[in-house]
Amino acid sequence: LVSRKKKPEDTIINIKGATIGDGNAHFVFGPCAVESYEQVAQVAKSVKEKGLTLLRGGAFKPRTSPYDFQGLGFEGLKILKQIADEFGLAVISEIVSPEDIEKAADYIDVIQIGARNMQNFELLKAAGAVNKPVLLKRGIAATIDEFINAAEYIMSQGNGQIILCERGIRTYERATRNTLDITAVPILKQETHLPVFVDVTHSTGRRDLLLPAAKAALAIGADGVMAEVHPDPAVALSDAAQQMDLNQFDQFYKELQASRGVA
């Protein structure tokens, strides 16, 4: 169902007026984790000022260590809903349990399936059974074929509103957190009719590489870029090393737009 051979024309996904896959670049910025209303509101204000409409923030955080901050759960989703209503933004958040999908759909505009859950087939099927856009991240060690099949699981249940997100894969290279597989973008665009985003934060894990990675993503044909922004990354409860602060965010966005010839 996701194959370009079956459906030659691009799928366009409407998220509160943002038409993902329309040939224009779209952007998803926001904190790694929802920590408080005030923290998300500061980022939301900055996103809004840029004329952007999509905001991310994790409420259920799949952390490597069980002792690390696990997220605010539904409290976090409530904060996102409040922010979405007050700022007129669309919010994206990761859901990790199949039984939470339906309920979560009342709070958020896009359901994110994280890298660690790309082959959680019950979760994929649950996401496929709701009428809500899904942002599906590539698994840490998933081949492109496995990634496409994960999207097929969602679509097989009836939900065709899927955005694929390349977020780096595990290789022997340690200079970056993961290895950004940049050619996955044109391959996914050739093989499927779905929009493709690149998450520059989790792929690189390095603040100094966010801008070049974002430029590369858009140059190679990505439909959008995701990056993490936190009002005070030094005290962030997750991913402190790689989130941009609000000034870095302004600069990043300005330079990215300039590089594309957008004022």
Query: Which residue blocks in the chain are alpha helix, DSSP H?
Result: 37-49, 74-87, 101-104, 121-128, 144-156, 184-191, 200-204, 210-219, 246-259
Q: CB nearer to ligand PEP: give 132 or 202.
A: 202
Residue 201 · residue 242 · CB < 8 Å: yes
Q: Is 239 in the site for Mn ion (CB under 5 A)?
A: yes
| Residue 135 engages ligand PEP in binding (rule: CB under 6 A) | no
Q: Which partner, Mn ion, ligand PEP, none, binds residue 137 by CB below 5 to 8 Å per kind?
A: ligand PEP
The binder of 94, among ligand PEP, Mn ion, none, by C-beta within 5 to 8 A per type, is ligand PEP
> Which of ligand PEP, Mn ion, none does residue 31 bind to, with CB < 5 to 8 Å depending on kind?
none
Does residue number 230 form part of the binding site for ligand PEP (CB under 6 A)? no
Phi, psi at 95, each rounded to 5°: -115, 135
Structure tokens that stand for 82 in this block: 């409040």
Cα separation, 150 vs 188, in Å, equals 13
Q: Are 156 and 128 in contact (CB under 8 A)?
A: yes
Interacting residue with ligand PEP among 137, 177, 189, 207 (CB under 6 A): 137
Nearer to ligand PEP, 166 or 191 (CB): 166
- The secondary structure of 155-211 as a DSSP string is HHTT---EEEEE--B--S--SSSSB--TTHHHHHHHHBSS-EEEEHHHHH--GGGHH
Q: How far is the CB of 137 from Mn ion (least distance, A)?
A: 11
Size of the residue set binding ligand PEP (CB under 6 A): 10
Q: Is 32 in the site for ligand PEP (CB under 6 A)?
A: yes
Q: How far apart are CA 42 and CA 83, in angstroms?
A: 10
115 is an interface residue for Mn ion by CB under 5 A: no
Considering the rule CB under 5 A, would residue 229 count as an interface residue with Mn ion? no
For position 94 contacting ligand PEP by CB under 6 A, the verdict is yes
Phi, psi values for residue 231, rounded to 5°: -60, -30
Positions that interact with ligand PEP (CB under 6 A): 32, 58, 94, 114-116, 137, 167, 199, 202
